[in-house]
Structure 1
Amino acid sequence: MDIEDILDRIDILPKESKARIMKAVTEISHPKNYILMESGKVIPFVYFIKKGIVRAYAAAEDRDITFWFGKEGEPVVSMKSYVQDRPGYEHIELLEDCSLYRIETDRLKQLYQEDIHIANWGRRFAEKELVKTEEMIISRQFKTAAECYRDLMRDKPDLLQRVQLGHIASYLGISQVTLSRIRAEMK
């Protein structure tokens, strides 16, 4: 996905403002299984996925707990690092070879100071990330694993073809055996 389209999905910017952000963006690539972010570290970048899929997870004593998947067009950000300049709690792993757009957080914040349109774009960016988090929390509190799986089938069906079942089961908070049972019941 093109960086202009990704920026526009967050909020439409005047041409000059968009050009200023795009000038600060670099494109990078990493292979499958690369750890883009590690917990306990301040992450000085905001990423946007051009191509590929990533997962966010927390490392527990005996397993990893996946809590988010990102795909083309989506931002990848440690909000704790972005907002507070403090170490994040998540790991981000690439589940496919990925092409990413990257911008330094400090440079982005400098652009916020220099351009009100970019500052408003940044506010919309943070608001959208907050709403996604809120929806995820509410979903986990009030929906069954089967309902969450149905939502995943409806909202991101391509993930089910591209992500290992073990990661999907972890995301749903269930075992792979239970996920297989849910999938069989839905057929």
Structure 2
Amino acid sequence: MTSQGPFGPLEFQLVLLRRMADHQPDLVDDARRELGVSLATMREANRRWQARARSPHARGALSRYRAALGAPEHTVRRRIGDLECEALLWPVPLWPGLRFEVTTGPGGAVWNEWLVRAPGAAGPVLRTAADLRPWACTVDEVARAFPPARPMEGTAPTRLRLAFTPGQGQDQERWVAEFTWGLLQRWAPERPESLA
């Protein structure tokens, strides 16, 4: 892949993997091998994506996704409070049970961009922290499995953290799960400094 070559679904998956490599380098290496690409190719795809996003002539975020991924597989209208939004979903071959979802508000502004469970696909059964596996569940699935979950600021724009209690009862320890592009990366007991 050269910087003049096309930027399509393969390159976009490499962008997702690049950010996940910070938490799950072994899984990312396995995924790269499955895709048949080198570490240098992954880095170059990420560099190109970032250059497109930061260019003074950059397209809007939704246009960049459409250019890389083509027409969405599904488009769904949703209501959040008083606002209507649209969710656009694209398949991601590395994770066949997931879709990359871009949620847009009025005027096409991108509100959210992350991996979600594909419509009709079964998610994992989550009862305790022992049921959690890296790359096996999404933000929404962990939040629904362990209410009341509390969203927390992530450590980068594509990251989110979620505080949750993995068991029953008031005396249960709180945990924090970390997600990249909406996909679970790691989790650990909550520390006092993570409450800020």
Instruction: Specify if TM > 0.5.
Output: no
Question: What is the TM-score when the length of structure 1 is the normalising length?
Answer: 0.27
Bigger fraction of residues in strand: 2
Q: Which has the higher contact order (CA 8 A, sep 6+)?
A: 1
Question: What is the TM-score when the length of structure 2 is the normalising length?
Answer: 0.26
